[in-house]
Structures are given as structure tokens and as C-alpha cells.
Structure 1
Amino acid sequence: MEISQALNFIDFSVIVLYIIALLSLGFWVSFRDRHTDDLFLAGRSLKWPNIGLSIFGTNVSPSMMISSAGVAYASGMVASNMEWLAWWFLMLLAMVFVPHYMNTNISTMPEFLEKRFSPTCRTYLSCYTLFATIVLWLGGTLYAGGLLLSQIMGWPIWISIVFLVIIATSFTITGGLAAVVITDSFQSILMILASTILTIIAFVKIGSFEKLVTSVPEDYWTLLRPADDPKFPWYAVLLGYPVGGIWFWCTDQTIVQRVLGGKNAREGQLGCVFAAFLKIIVPFIFFVPGIMCKVLHPNLEDADKAYMTMVTTYLPHGMIGLIVSVLIAALISTVDSGLNSLSTVFTLDIYCKIFKPDSTQLQRKRIGQVVTFAGALIAIAVSLSIAKIPDKNLFEKLLSIIQFLSPPLAAVFIVGVLWRGANKISALLTLIIGSIASVGIGICNLAGWPSKDFYPHFMFLSFLIFAGLIIFMVVISLITGKDSGQRFHSLREAMQNTNKNTKGIWTWWLILAIIMFTLYLIFN
């Protein structure tokens, strides 16, 4: 049954009520009397529950929810590594990167590179961040969400995309990060509850845990596959994921901005812990339904239809509308977060730094609002361009893009934070040469040129590029020597200045580590 045919008046009523509730919440936060800083960092007043829920809501997009069930339908739990390995890098963000970020009192990632290396590095990263945000966070998400909404409503995809942009842009322009985080938190709770209900209902339909386990191939429940596995060999996952993980969780403006908006370092660190605990449930409510669909509907022609097949087949009306609302929520959460990060980087790292250093708070707020609107228009064009590209495997395609964009930034940030000997010449050369090499190799790999068999697995290839760039940066630093006159806190100094009360936080990380190692023992 087509999605549009499965929805009735009750479902559409639920969707409309949800959108009204979301807009009401967003505008309520937006029109409160707040300072200009709220547009970018919510006045650095966020508490850990909102930080954790916002990180979770920003990470979960419609493409992720649908493609997770699809890849699980086709391959089982192996892709869950991308969720269950994330805690390592959320811990790295909280306990290693956050002390440096808070200690230097930055608002953006490019600003950090300026204080660590040079203004040129800041300008380069600003341009790169704008590009990555528009393509990955906005263009790709809008395409996936617009495609879903066009199927639900029967609208042309361009109308669906414009409609969703209007909703996401409205309170992002007026309320900034404060409105984004509050709506993210609301939507995250909704996503977790609705997807959990779907999983429970599907399990009841299957009848028993034994039937669920034995009705699919045995390797569907294995997280680490043999080295000759064509999709996700263990070495590619364990070596390649950290490259994208460092970039995505520790240096990407859209994720880190939530932590920078924390009331203090402890609130930001606890927010990371909370987000890491939330990641535990993702495979159970997004991936397992795909395996359940394999049990109940083993002959689907398109694996990416697994999630909505479960929704439209087994949920009652009203609940179908709620799930669709969840997907719309995930879309808006990702888009409004991307728009806010886009305006923050452009305003603080390009407009204020290059064009008008003496700008007033009101001018910065206005330019941020204009950039948000302009970014939304550009994102519409990008998403419509993506719609013209044939896409057979959304999960692997998005993962491939992330893996080939991340090596240069992951290398520069990890070396810059862990080693004071890294200098500005090595950082700039690694950013420029690394970006050209990584993106160029990525394009050739995705295009299959000179042949598909020419390259190793794309995640392992990403690791090789990352390792080569680290060696390159270290060698250049040793050859050219330390930067004269620059004083940068060591990791130990930054942690002493910022991590003054981490005893309880480390206990939570220990509990999380025990849980995650137990899960890996169970699923291997």
C-alpha cells in the first residue's frame, strides 16, 4: 500500500496538530525577551538535558531513520556500529575537546583554529564549514524529507521541500539556538516514544524472541563481520569510523555548538554523556524494525521501504500520523540546526572577522537572520539538484561522503589538540592539500574510476588518508619548527582549568563503557 493511501483523516489531523504544536513552541521561545547572543549560543545558558536531547535530535534525520531500517533489512545489525561506536567520540568531545573549547572561550570551530594556528586557517575552515553544512546538513536532509512528504501528501517534491524550509526557517531566524534546542528536545522525546511503540508492536506481531532471531541469517545479529565481508568488514569499521567520528562528533559546528551553548563545561560534558546513553537505544528502535520487517515481509523489492512498510501495515490510524510527524520532526530538527550553524559561522567568522569587525550586536543579529534566509534558499536548490541524481543506497552514500570529507579536519584538530608542537604552516598545508586529495579520491571512488576494484573499502581508504595526513602534518611541523610568540595551553593545562569537577562524569562514562562492551559481547 502506498503511504498516501494508508493515511486517513485522523492521521492528517495528528500531523497538523503536531506542526501547530511545534510552531507554537518554537515561536514561544523565539519571542521571549532575550539577548542577541541567544541567536548563536543561547546566552550560554543551556542545561545538560537540552544539550543531550538536541544533539540526539540533530543527529537523527528522516534519511537516517528510513535508511537505518533499510540497511538492517538488507544486512542486519552490522551498520549499528555507526551508532554504538559513537560514545567513544562523544567522550572524546566532552573530556578532551570541550576543555580546550571552553578554555579559549570560542563560539565557532573556525575561531578555535585561529586561536590555535592562524587567521588563514580560520578563513579556510569557515568556507569549508559553510559548504559542508549546505550540502550535508541541509541539501541531503531536505531531499530525503521532501521525498517523504511528497509521498505522504501527493505534492511535487519542490513544494514539499519549500514547505519544510518555511517551517524550519521561521523560528530559527527569530529565536536562534534557544528555539532550536527547545524544539529539538521536544522532537527527540517524540521520536524515541513513537519508534519504541512501533518496535514493541512489531515484536508482538512476530510472536517470540526466538522466531525473531532464527528467521533471518545468523550474521544479521553480528556487529563485527569477517575481513572478506563486501559491505562492512571489521577492520574497515574499526579503523575507518573514528575518522568520520572525530570530525562529526568533535569538530562539526552543528554538533559542537550545542555543547558550547552550555551554562558551563560540566553541563556540556553531562549533555554529551546523556547523548551517548541515548545512542544505545537507536539500533533497537531504528535498525531492529528493519530486521523485523525482513521476518514479516521477506520479499520487499526496495529495502529502503522497510520502515514505512512496518508503519503503514501494523500501526493503527492516528499512530501512523504520529510516526509521520516524527519523521517530519527529525527533518525540521536537522534543518533548523544546520541553518543556525550556517548563520553562526558566516556571521562570526566571515562577516565580523573580515568585512565588519566593529559591527554592533544588532548588526550581527540582523546579518545572521539574513544568512539563515539565504542559506535556506540555497539549500532548496541543492536538494532539488540531489533529487536529479539516482540514489540506490542512501545509507552508504551519505556515509561515503562523510568519510571522504572528514580526514583533513579530523587530522588537523586531533593533532592540534593533542600536540603543542603542531604549527600553523603544517595546519594550513594539511587542510588545503588534504582536502584536495581526500575529496578528489572520494569523487573517483564513488564514480568507480578507474575501476571499482581499484580501491580498498571506502572506510579503510578514509583511514589511510587520515593516517597519511597526520604523518604529513607532524613531519612538516618538525621541519618548519614551532610558531614564534604563540602560547597555546597543553591538554593537561586546559583540563585543569576547565575540568574541576569531573568525578561523577567519569563514573557515568564507566557505566556506559560496561554497557557497550556487554552489547558487543552479546552481538558477536
Structure 2
Amino acid sequence: MLPASTTSGGGMPEFTVTGLDLAVIIGYLVLSRIIPLVASARMKKKAKAGGKETDESEDYFLGGRNFIWPFVGLSLVATNMSGATFVGLAGGAYDQGISIFAYEWMSAVILVIFIFFILPFYLRSKVFTLPEYLENRYDRRSRMAFAGFNLFANMFIDMAAALFAGAVVVKVLYPDIPMIVSVAVLAILAAVYTVIGGLGAVMISDSIQATVTIIGGVIVLIATFNAIESWDAVVQTAGDEKMSLILPADHPDLPWPGLITGVLIIGLYYWTTNQLVVQRTLGARSLDHGRWGSLLAGLIKLSFLFLFILPGVMALSLYPELESSDTVFPTLVFDLLPVGLRGLILAAVIAAITSTVDSILNSASTIVTMDFVKTLRPDTSQRRLVFSGRVSTVVALVVAIVWAPFIAQFDTLYQYLQSVLSFLVPPVVAVFLVGIASKRISATAAFLTLVILQPLGLALFIVTQVLPEEPTIQFLYAAGISFGLSVLMLFGISLLGPSPDESKTGELTWKKKYWTEESKELRGTPFWANYRFLSIGLLALTAFLVVVYA
């Protein structure tokens, strides 16, 4: 048997994928393409047999709004993972320490906010897309502006970056394979069931992918923990800063005030206003299933500390001289795991890649079809809408395949892409959240906030982050400033004009009576089914982890 890897001298390890590993990977890929399509078709058939009639477009884009909470939760997690979940979190922990867990525990907090104050309005409006929700709350101008931004972000940031990260993983294992080939193969693997089965197949696939990925993380965690000399040795090697979750206010990467001014705002965009993610909850069978699924996703996100981050920290004591942090995860897999089991972990990495890409493809096709095709041609038949969705999926795929390899030529710009959302998304968060909180916000205020502050944010990103040799402002602080300006602009413009029509705001803004009426409905509900008790439990667990590792 060939050696698994070589790490002597701290250089780049040599990786060998055996025949058994390859057989496991291929077997997984074949089954994970077939199972979602078959299961999705059976679910549709069962729903129709039970008398639940849905439009063809609703079946394709939202899975007939028939998903129970485990599918919703696992799909949310799988969508959130990318090809870099394993490699990126382990490598980031190796370089930066456990402070990168901030993005994970903050997700749990944000998902609680989401299910209390935001999701009910989305489901009440019965929309296909979040841009459509903006038209219901404001007007068509805001819908089209946000749809355009969402589509751009899906193709040029989310999907291209996911494919690029996946190709980097393949490059570590097979250096001779051209990047464009890796990108194309990964994209096609994700597109197979996305084009044919729509959101139904995607969510079933995501549930499988998330499960495999979590199992893979558990295996690597156990193997790494068994390999270290002792936990005390790990703590001593890592040092106090890398073992601390909360960093000083002047830290260049993650200052603690930035948790509120930046991480919270970026997270609110990602988990509550991004079509890519929220579409999973729009397909929930009911509000309860959407809420329970979101809480499950928050709980799984907390486990990332143990599944992906701590193995990276433990690698400091096992391989203290690795040349690149990107090799941390592959080194752990090939040094510590037996043949065959390595194939399962590599399958989990591919699962993370394809789960992100299939979700982005479905999101992009939904926006093109429902926000552009149906809006501009309202008489389009259901069959033509589904056909448009399939065509737009293929087009988005081709654009991302062509663009993804170019990211490799802009290493510095690719790193800056992690902060560009801090300048672009605060106006979006403000338009959605303030619009739900206050019926006084007008359609003109929302539209102008989007079309003025988003381009201005992009310009400021270039001036403060790209052009100078060193950034002139920490991007997490910039997000807070941008959000504050967005709120001021929304209220300032709204107060200068007449109050919005009650028909636009009546059902889509927060009222105390919603809380009171729901409280009555929840009386007698067992605590294990009451989302309020479950939310308190999730927040308590989050607080416990933050305090322990602070």
C-alpha cells in the first residue's frame, strides 16, 4: 500500500487516493444523484395522492411548500457549507485560532431573531422570492433592484467562489487536473438534480450531504483527538490568543465590537434576506416546521466548533510547521485515517461543494423566472416558467464556470471579497428589517436606499480596502456605519413624504397583537414543540460556549 502522506519537515504533504477511496467516492456520487430525484418524485406523488394541489412552478421552485423541519434544517446547513468548510475552518483555526467560531455562534443568535420576527411575514405573504416580498411591502422598483443584486451576488460571488474553493481542494489531491476541468465537473454534478428536480431534489440532496458532512467531521475530530499528546499540550502550543473567542478591539481580523457592528449585520443579510438561504424556509410545510428547521440549523452550527475548528487548533501540536494552512485538513485526513474511510471524508468534502452550488443554482433560476420572466410576462404558463427556470440554471452555471478560474488571478481581490459584503449588504438588511418594524417606511425611501447606498458602498470598498496598501477602516466597523446611515436615510426620506398605504403595510409590519394572539395559541403546547422554549435553550447553549471559550 502506498503511504498516505508525508509531512516531515513541515513541507507540503504528498497525498495518495487509493482504489478503495476512489470506489467510495464514486459510489457516493452515483447514489447522491439518484436518491434525491427518486425521493423528490415520490414526495410529489404522495402529496398529490393526499389531495394537496400545487402549481407546477410551486413544485419546482419551492418543493410544493411541503418540507418538514429536518429537511429544512439540514438543507439550511448544507447550503451554508461550501467546499471550504472543512479546509477553510480548519485552516483558519490553525492560523487565527478559535475566534473564527464567532461567525458560527452568531448564526444561532440570528436564526432565533429570524424565526421570531421575520419568517412569519415571509410565509404570510406566500412569496416565491424575497425580491417579490419587497414588492409586496414597497413597490416593483425595490423588487427589481434587489433581484438584480441577488442574481449578481449568486453568480459572481457565491457560486464562483464555491466552485473555486472546490477546485482548490481537488488541486491539492490531483495537481495535474486543470482548474477549469475541476470547476466544470463539480458544477455539472450539482446541476444534474437541480435542473431536473428543482428545490425538492435539492433539499433532499442537501439533507444527505449535511448528514455525510457531519459524520465526516465527527470522524476527523475523534481521529485528531486520539492523535494528540494531551489537551494541555494543545493549549500550550496554541497560546492564549488562539484559544480565546473574544479578541481585542484593535485586532485586524475580528475585533470584539465588530461582532455587533459587522458579524451580526452580515449574518442578518445571509440568514434572513438572502434568497439562497431563505428559500429553504419558504418551502416549509408550515411556520412551525420553518421555525423548528431553523433552530436545528442553529444547533448544528454550534457543533462546528468541535467538528471543524478544534481539529485545526489541535493540528498546531501535531504539525507545527506546515507551509500552508490550506493543507491542515487534507493532512489530518491522509495521516490519521485508514484507507476507505478517507474516501468517505473526501465524499463529504464533495458533498459540501455540490450542496452550495445546487442551492445557488436553484436560487438564481427562481429569481430569473419569478422576478424577471413572470414579472415582465405575467401570462407565461406554468410549464414555460419551469422551462425558463431550467434554462436560467444552465446559463448561471456556464457564467460561474467561466468566471471561477479567473478568481485565481486575483488572490488579493479574492481575499477582499470576504469583506465586500460588509460594504454592500447593510442597506439590504435595513430595508428588510426596518420595513418590518415600522409601517412608516415608504417605497421611495426603500428604493433610494438600495440604489444609492449600495453603489456608494462598493465605491467605498474600493477606496478603503482595495486601493490602499493597508485597509483604512476595519470592514466590520464599516458595516455598522453603513447600516446606521441606511436607517437614517430610510426614516429621513419617509418622513418627508406621505405615509404608505395601509394596504401595503397592514399584514407585513410588526404589531403587538401578533405576539399576543400567538401566545394564546401556544398555551398547552408541549415545551419540546414550543419554538419559544426551544429558542431559549439554543441561546443558553450559545451563551455557555461563548463564556467558556471567551
Pick the TM interval, shorter chain.
over 0.9
Q: Is the 8 A contact 2:86 2:308 kept in 1?
A: yes
The letter of the residue matching 2:242 is Y
Q: Which residue among 166, 185, 197 is the counterpart of 2:207?
A: 185
Distance 1:496 1:480, change over 3 A: same
The letter of the residue matching 1:297 is Y
How much has 1:205 moved relative to structure 2? 0.6
The 10-residue stretch of structure 1 (146-155 or 373-382) with the greater mean CA deviation from structure 2? 146-155
Aligned residue number for residue 414 of structure 1: 433
Aligned positions of 1:22-421 closer than 5 A = 22-29=32-39, 31-32=41-42, 36=56, 37-153=58-174, 154-354=176-376, 356-391=377-412, 397-421=416-440
Q: CA offsets per residue over residues 49-91 of structure 1, 9 Å max, x none?
A: 0000000011011123211111111110111100011112111
Q: CA offsets per residue over residues 390-417 of structure 1, 9 Å max, x none?
A: 259x7x6443133222111011111111
Q: Which residue among 23, 38, 47 is the counterpart of 1:13?
A: 23
Distance 1:452 1:215, change over 3 A: closer
Report the 3-state secondary structure (helix = DSSP H, G, I; strand = E; otherwise coil) of the residue aligned with 1:5: coil
Q: CA offsets per residue over residues 294-333 of structure 1, 9 Å max, x none?
A: 1111111211221112112111111221111111100100
Q: Tell me the distance in 1 between the aligned counterparts of 2:361 and 2:172.
A: 25
Report the 3-state secondary structure (helix = DSSP H, G, I; strand = E; otherwise coil) of the residue aligned with 2:301: helix
Aligned residue number for residue 538 of structure 2: 512
Q: Is the 8 A contact 2:465 2:473 kept in 1?
A: no
Q: Tell me the distance in 2 between the aligned counterparts of 1:491 and 1:167.
A: 42
Distance 1:3 1:177, change over 3 A: farther
How much has 1:159 moved relative to structure 2? 0.9
Q: Is the 8 A contact 1:135 1:382 kept in 2?
A: yes
Q: Give the TM-score taking structure 2 as reference length.
A: 0.91
Q: CA offsets per residue over residues 344-382 of structure 1, 9 Å max, x none?
A: 11101100001x101111111111111111111111112
Aligned residue number for residue 3 of structure 2: none
Q: Tell me the distance in 1 between the aligned counterparts of 2:482 and 2:24.
A: 48
How much has 1:482 moved relative to structure 2? 1.2
Q: Tell me the distance in 2 between the aligned counterparts of 1:335 and 1:302.
A: 26
Report the 3-state secondary structure (helix = DSSP H, G, I; strand = E; otherwise coil) of the residue aligned with 2:378: coil
Q: Is the 8 A contact 1:99 1:498 kept in 2?
A: no
Q: Is the 8 A contact 1:407 1:438 kept in 2?
A: no
Aligned residue number for residue 463 of structure 1: 480
Q: Tell me the distance in 1 between the aligned counterparts of 2:94 and 2:360.
A: 29
Distance 1:87 1:5, change over 3 A: closer
Q: Tell me the distance in 2 between the aligned counterparts of 1:445 and 1:11.
A: 47
The letter of the residue matching 2:315 is C
Q: Tell me the distance in 1 between the aligned counterparts of 2:323 and 2:117.
A: 46
Q: Tell me the distance in 1 between the aligned counterparts of 2:61 and 2:362.
A: 7
Q: Is the 8 A contact 1:143 1:386 kept in 2?
A: yes
How much has 1:494 moved relative to structure 2? 5.5
The 10-residue stretch of structure 1 (51-60 or 405-414) with the greater mean CA deviation from structure 2? 405-414
The letter of the residue matching 1:460 is Y
Distance 1:465 1:12, change over 3 A: same
Q: Is the 8 A contact 1:103 1:497 kept in 2?
A: no
How much has 1:135 moved relative to structure 2? 1.7
The letter of the residue matching 2:460 is I
Distance 1:263 1:4, change over 3 A: farther
Aligned residue number for residue 445 of structure 1: 464
Q: Tell me the distance in 1 between the aligned counterparts of 2:388 and 2:36.
A: 21
How much has 1:293 moved relative to structure 2? 1.1
The letter of the residue matching 2:325 is A
Report the 3-state secondary structure (helix = DSSP H, G, I; strand = E; otherwise coil) of the residue aligned with 2:304: helix
Q: Is the 8 A contact 2:36 2:205 kept in 1?
A: yes
**Cα-Cα RMSD:** 1.9
Distance 1:361 1:254, change over 3 A: same
The letter of the residue matching 1:262 is A
The 10-residue stretch of structure 1 (435-444 or 181-190) with the greater mean CA deviation from structure 2? 435-444
Aligned residue number for residue 523 of structure 1: 549
Report the 3-state secondary structure (helix = DSSP H, G, I; strand = E; otherwise coil) of the residue aligned with 2:440: coil
How much has 1:487 moved relative to structure 2? 3.5
Q: CA offsets per residue over residues 171-223 of structure 1, 9 Å max, x none?
A: 10110001000010011011011111101111111032222222211111111
Q: Tell me the distance in 1 between the aligned counterparts of 2:170 and 2:359.
A: 20
Q: CA offsets per residue over residues 31-53 of structure 1, 9 Å max, x none?
A: 55566222100000000000000
Q: Tell me the distance in 2 between the aligned counterparts of 1:158 and 1:391.
A: 20
Q: Is the 8 A contact 2:234 2:316 kept in 1?
A: no
Identity of aligned residues (%): 29
Aligned residue number for residue 472 of structure 1: 489
Report how many residues are paired. 519
The 10-residue stretch of structure 1 (100-109 or 402-411) with the greater mean CA deviation from structure 2? 402-411
Distance 1:260 1:297, change over 3 A: same
How much has 1:144 moved relative to structure 2? 0.9
Report the 3-state secondary structure (helix = DSSP H, G, I; strand = E; otherwise coil) of the residue aligned with 2:181: helix
Q: Tell me the distance in 2 between the aligned counterparts of 1:14 and 1:496.
A: 53
Distance 1:42 1:56, change over 3 A: same
Report the 3-state secondary structure (helix = DSSP H, G, I; strand = E; otherwise coil) of the residue aligned with 2:118: helix
Q: Is the 8 A contact 2:107 2:301 kept in 1?
A: yes
Unaligned segments of structure 2, at least 5 residues: 1-5, 7-11, 46-53
Report the 3-state secondary structure (helix = DSSP H, G, I; strand = E; otherwise coil) of the residue aligned with 1:374: helix
Q: Is the 8 A contact 1:58 1:334 kept in 2?
A: yes
How much has 1:498 moved relative to structure 2? 7.5
Q: Tell me the distance in 1 between the aligned counterparts of 2:515 and 2:23.
A: 51
